[in-house]
Chain A
């Protein structure tokens, strides 16, 4: 054979991809094992011999009846064998004529079909799609179409290095919020790029579109009852989602932060950009950090807002507890708060005890689809609700009042609040959330830890082992040369300041951590001071940011108890 070494390698990759398809389904783990091994064989001829053996192994395994073998599959194998003969012949033909180029990253412009777009905004929008490989090691194994929106800066000509916003979740849609995102520019002179990550928003694929709502309710049931039965029911619901995804031809190994980071770089290339500024928020910081580690030369600056670091992470309830204690301590020091709600921490603990004994039944809006529009506020739901409110700084004024009301047995307004928090949780694509988290996070493949509270049990502890094997881990760009700004909110129940500071220190001298008082998750969104610091940093990332506005934060305007509130203290 007179093939060139690169051609031998490409043929080897094709053969192993074929073996993977033969072993798809229950054998996909082994297919991945054989396929990945190929990358460690430096000699191209040896790689080709290895690949041929893998094809043989795949057929031997299937024909030996492993993982089920029916009369139907006889025909399938026979057809596949014929296909293999054709495939090898075709592959050699491709070598002969030199047509084995991998797919190229391309942006295809489409019409902008987005909600709430004003006539002023419309000319500033460019919408389109980018096809990304499902699996970058095997670019011929199909593609997913990602939705991309570019919001051109109001100030034209804009700077050549735009900002890409990387949203959280994992599983949150983004491009649908383009109109909102256009309102507060990240950096006034730069275009903003929005991408729906694979499996989210308007990007392909849909993991289990029919079951997403069911998964939300399954998690809600755990929040309400914190029972083993609810955990088991959720496990079954997620298993159904996984089965639906597999039956629709998805390989659940094609998800995770590493591949999402590869998608972002693919989109960058499709847009013809040499470098860009990246802005990651919440889970988006996990992607951003991995992108910084994998493609450092392509990132001009990075902002990491409310870091969600890769494993190992502390038990979530411990971070929540730290944030809650900080909030209660602030209330104790605030004159208005401490006057209306003396010893809020104790009131919180007493409320947990009282609701544990006697849940309060409240009326909820019909959209929550609860029997007779009624539901129980249990101790566990209360704990989850307080945690959720700590995310959002605009919820802080009502938080002490809500705790006090439920402590006093008054559920007025609690139903509406639950509905608001439920709606916030409903935007996330749950199937994609599991697909990413289960690939990324070893702790979710372990048992529920000792001392776990309800907020821990809501995590996918008893789901991930059934879902998919762990994939390559997300990365922290230790010692990065990229100018990096890390933002952390004082009361953030996910990425508290202690954790954010720690990750900033891990990244090294180019990373600067700024803590924002009286803010929770998503600093820039809730803090005008944060938005100003971000804009100045992206403009001049080499300069030390002026963070003095963090010392002049407006106080929280705590709502007092209603005058007619029942007293039971």
Chain B
């Protein structure tokens, strides 16, 4: 399978949201609110990152009775490396812009 580039604005926003979460498991609605991405964009991205081994997922038991389990996500070590790389790139670009 051709590996899709992960440098779109939406992907970067998502990776940044994970970095902001300090390695915690995040659920879909939480990520949607954090990134402003609608579910129609968010889930295809999550699926793609997951297929690429950049994201791991699991089911988390509901905190309140009567609610279903939630699918939660966090970056794998490769995903973390990519997110940090992109963050570094973004910071570098900002600095380059500042000194241009």
Contact = CB atoms under 8 A, between A and B. Distances in A.
A53 B67 contact: no
Nearest to B67: A39
B61 interface: yes
A36 B39 contact: no
B54 to A, nearest CB: 15
A557 interface: no
Contacts of B68: 35-36, 39, 137, 472
Interface stretch (B6-14, B16-24, B42-50): B42-50
Interface residues of A, number: 33
Given A33-B71, A36-B71, A53-B40, A66 B59 contact: no
B4 to A, nearest CB: 10
Nearest to B45: A57
Interface residues of B, number: 26
Secondary structure class of chain A's binding surface, majority of residues: helix
Given A36-B71, A49-B38, A473-B61, A66 B43 contact: no
A94 B82 CA distance: 47
Contact of A34 (B39, B51, B59, B67): B39
Interface string B20-60: 00000001110010000011111110111001000001010
A413 B41 CA distance: 67
B70 interface: yes
B26 to A, nearest CB: 12
Given A36-B68, A36-B71, A49-B38, A57 B29 contact: no
B67 A29 contact: no
A53 B51 CA distance: 21
- Residue among A30, A35, A55, A294 with the most chain B CB within 10 A? A30
Contacts of A294: 65-66
A37 B47 contact: no
Given A34-B28, A37-B28, A40-B67, A472 B42 contact: no
Interface of A: 27, 29-30, 32-37, 39-41, 49-57, 60-61, 64, 66, 137, 293-294, 469-473
14 contacts: A30-B71, A36-B71, A40-B70, A50-B39, A51-B39, A53-B40, A53-B41, A53-B42, A53-B43, A54-B43, A60-B44, A61-B44, A61-B47, A472-B68
Interface of B: 27-29, 32, 38-44, 46-48, 51, 57, 59, 61-62, 65-71
